[in-house]
Amino acid sequence: VTARRIDGTAVAADVRAAVAADVAAFVAAGGPKPGLATVLVGDDPASHVYVRSKRRVSEELGIASLHHDVPATASQAEVEGLVERLNADATVHGILVQSPLPDGLDEEAVFARIDPAKDVDGLTPVSLGRLVLGQPGLRPCTPSGVLELLRRYEVPLEGARAVVVGRSTLVGKPVALLLLEANCTVTLCHSRTRDLAGELRRADILVAAIGRPGLITKDMVAPGAVVIDVGINRTPDGLRGDVHPDVAEVASALTPVPGGVGPMTIAMLMRNTLDAARSLAPTP
Ligand code: NDP
């Protein structure tokens, strides 16, 4: 058997097209042009690449890209002050402070300053609290991209056994909470999990967000499982996921790396920005 390929590039293009149409309708109905403020502190090369793509995609979809470059020498108070100004700026509907911040800056404290109504990354304490409470709110982008892929491919979620590997605040924990909200029975594994293979073999749905190339091999996967590989690992042979390619021999469906979850993150960021604009500036 060869697993069906879950095509994140195609789904992300669909999501972006839907957001572009919805942005146009929102503006035609009298809404303001949605604005996404990106804040890049310092000169981490990977962060530059990410922010550049976020800016390009927002412009393509009719969302204003309002960018702020901040020198690595900026103080905590300066960065937090910028966030406060963006909170108060009515042309800004979404605020994205690119992680990681340079050493010496307290990233959590900066995130905590972001107005939850503009928290399009979904990573502030209030947004994460709303996720735990099951209240409406902006959800983290990569995790909601994972759920969007499962829904688009009509993977049955209710009652399914979902196993997530990785418990970061960025990916693993929110993915687990979103799967729980979708009525999966969720197991969350991490580096101290006693019998990882044993846990994984019980999974109908397996989500890997680990950061270890090829860690999940076919002997750890139940025949017919749906496997979502969030991992993006730079190796001498190029980008690799956390899931070994041999898993395609047993899984029923699998996301490729690249071209799986990766493209979904920016697409979901765009949807969050539109949703934020809609709730900040409701049209009649
Ligand atoms: P973190 O390093 O923050 O978390 C990794 C998690 O994996 C931890 O919970 C850790 O456990 C667990 N882990 C590490 N080694 C093992 C092991 N041998 N067995 C079981 N669990 C293990 O990573 P992130 O969550 O930020 O990212 C995970 C991956 O996803 C990375 O490859 C990253 O590049 C990718 N990523 C992709 C995105 C996208 O597609 N757009 C967005 C964000 C991330 P413990 O907590 O015990 O240390």
Model pLDDT for residues 116-130, shown as the tens digit of each residue: 999 999 999 999 999
- Residue 72, pLDDT score: 97
pLDDT digits (tens, 9 = 90+) for 24-33: 999 999 999 9
Percentage of the residues of the chain whose pLDDT score is greater than 70: 100
Measured distance CA(127)–CA(120) in Å, rounded: 9
Measured distance CA(32)–CA(79) in Å, rounded: 26
- Residue 79, pLDDT score: 98
- Residue 51, pLDDT score: 98
Would you place residue 1 in the very low, low, confident or very high pLDDT band (cuts 50, 70, 90)? confident
What is the edge-to-edge ordering of all strands in the sheet holding 253-254?
Answer: 4-5, 253-254, 226-229, 205-208, 161-165, 185-189
Ligand 1 center to 191 CA (angstroms): 10
The finding on whether 53 has its CB within 6 A of some atom of ligand 1 is no
Identify whether the C-beta of residue 270 lies closer than 8 Å to the C-beta of residue 141: no
Residue 21 has pLDDT above 80, yes or no: yes
Identify whether the C-beta of residue 256 lies closer than 8 Å to the C-beta of residue 2: no
The finding on whether 262 has its CB within 6 A of some atom of ligand 1 is yes
Identify whether the C-beta of residue 190 lies closer than 8 Å to the C-beta of residue 200: no
Specify the residue with its C-alpha closest to ligand 1, atom 5.
210
Would you place residue 197 in the very low, low, confident or very high pLDDT band (cuts 50, 70, 90)? very high
Reduce the DSSP state of residue 56 to 3 states and report it. Answer: helix
Q: Among 123, 199, 210, 243, which is best to mutate for testing ligand 1, by the most ligand atoms less than 8 A from CB?
A: 210
Facing residues of 216 across strands?
243
- Residue 168, pLDDT score: 98
Specify the pairing of strand 161-165 against strand 185-189.
parallel
Active-site residues, by number, are 54, 98, 121
